[in-house]
Amino acid sequence: MRSSKLNGNSKIIAKDFNLFYGDFQALKDINVDIPEHAITSIIGPSGCGKSTFLRSINRMNELIPSVRTTGNIFLDNENIFTQDVVELRKQVGMVFQRPNPFPKSIFDNVAYGPRAHGLKNKAVLVDIVEKSLVQAALWEEVKDNLNKSGLALSGGQQQRLCIARALAVEPQVILMDEPASALDPIATLKIEELIQNLKKEYTIVIVTHNMQQAARASDYTMVFNMYPDRSGYIIEYGKTTQVFTNPREKITEDYISGRFG
């Protein structure tokens, strides 16, 4: 499949996007529209470019010296490659596979981003920290102990703290790279419930290897596969219910059912 356009308002659009690590092409001819205020999951076999594409949306791959790209990715119809990268990452937050709180207090973890962008007003910071922790469904658990180290929280709480930290700079998009893979089932469900609430205000793109999670938690599902040269491409994209119950491609059906990948 070479083009993936959905009905509705597009938040992110990739056009003829390719990414190379040196001589190796990791992503090939990515054309896709990602709708706003929805959860889009990215699934597919290991090594097919899921995380590489996710990290392209906020230009994190540029931290790797050998990376080069062709084509374009647009956020609200503005080319991300012509934007200031600091401003882009303020609009496009990232939550990683393993919780990575800073060795600071809960308050300072959440306030880190606003402070880095020049905000010094203590009263405003207090409001931002509370709002972000409320949005991340963590406030009631930590409100009486904001000076506690973020590293002292449980794994699930640490991941929600990292989500609060991402929310504190008021992004438009939240990228999540297997955010629950290191968590137990109860903490995983809390993260899934949280992102359902967050999609009312944010556009969420999540990479997951958990087929049940993709089926439960996402509105749309993008399926990546690999060409024989191991370059990744999108084989199928649509509403999650359609992809999981009536996939257009045999490879999608085989991957979802566990016969491939």
pLDDT at 161 over 60: yes
pLDDT at 4 over 70: no
pLDDT at 29 over 60: yes
pLDDT at 3: 44
Give the separation between CA 116 and CA 238, rounded to whole angstroms. 38
pLDDT at 214 over 80: yes
What DSSP letter does each residue of 152-202 carry, written as one string?
A: GS-HHHHHHHHHHHHHTT--SEEEEESTTTTS-HHHHHHHHHHHHHHTTTS
pLDDT at 1: 43
- Mean pLDDT, all residues of the chain: 93
Summarize pLDDT for 80-107 with one digit per residue, the tens. 999 999 999 999 999 998 899 999 999 9
Indicate the helix (H) or strand (E) that contains 150: none
Instruction: Answer whether 131's CB lies under 8 Å from 110's CB.
Output: no
pLDDT at 38 over 50: yes
Of the chain, the percentage scoring pLDDT greater than 90 comes to 88
Residues 190-195, mean pLDDT to the nearest whole number? 92
pLDDT at 168: 96
What the block records as the tokens of 104 is 């600071």
pLDDT at 144 over 50: yes
pLDDT at 9: 84
Residues 207-219, mean pLDDT to the nearest whole number? 93
pLDDT at 261: 52
Who's near 30: CB < 8 A, 6+ residues apart? Answer: 14, 16, 17, 18, 53, 71, 233, 234
pLDDT at 11: 96
Considering only 74-83, 92-101, 159-168, 252-261, which range has the smallest mean pLDDT? 252-261
Summarize pLDDT for 118-135 with one digit per residue, the tens. 999 999 999 999 999 999
pLDDT at 173 over 80: yes
